[in-house]
Amino acid sequence: MNSMFTKIARIALGLALVVFGANKLFHFLPMEAPTGSAGDFMNSLGATGYIFPVLGVLEIIIGAMLLLKKWVAFALILLAPISINILLFHLFLGISGLPIAIVVLLFNGILIYKHWQQYKPLFY
């Protein structure tokens, strides 16, 4: 179940989640401020004061689970709605990040497929 490709996908996804999740909390990576509808949407989410910190903590936890290979199937299910929202945001509001969003969703989907045996009891 753990081919070299899925191992690389799991580690790459885990690293990305830890880095970008931590960036939501500590702002250490320079990020270009989105403009237009994307900027309005991000500013309104940021104005709540809790969305980005909660999302950052979730991303760090999910990324750590993937990197440590603990509860991977659970981490992937937690990540599914986040990765879908990343894709939809970039598809409808910020097209420049679409390739990365597709890679995140693709890696999540591939890893879910590789762990499908663990999900089968949910459907019986």
pLDDT, tens digit (0-9, with 9 covering 90-100), for 5-42: 999 999 999 999 999 999 999 999 998 888 899 999 99
Predicted TM-score (pTM) of this structure? 0.92
Give yes or no for a contact between 115 and 1, defined as CB atoms under 8 angstroms apart: yes
Q: Which pLDDT band holds residue 2 (cuts at 50, 70, 90)?
A: low
Instruction: Kindly tell me if the per-residue pLDDT of 1 is higher than 60.
Output: no
- Residue pair 124/109 in contact by the 8 Å Cβ criterion: no
Instruction: Please give the Cα distance from 110 to 121 (Å, whole number).
Output: 19
Give residue for tokens 């990197």. 67
Alpha-carbon distance 124 to 12, whole Å?
32
State the burial class of residue 8 (Cβ atoms within 10 Å of its Cβ: 0-12, 13-18, 19+): exposed
Domains: count for the chain: 1
Confidence category of residue 123, pLDDT binned at 50, 70, 90: confident
Chain segment 42-101, per-residue pLDDT in tens? 999 999 999 999 999 999 999 999 999 999 999 999 999 999 999 999 999 988 889 999
Supply the pLDDT for residue 94: 83
Residue 60's domain spans which residues? 4-123
- Nearby residues of 14 by Cβ (< 8 Å), 6 or more positions away: 62, 63, 64, 65, 66, 67
Please check the confidence at residue 105 and state whether its pLDDT lies above 80: yes
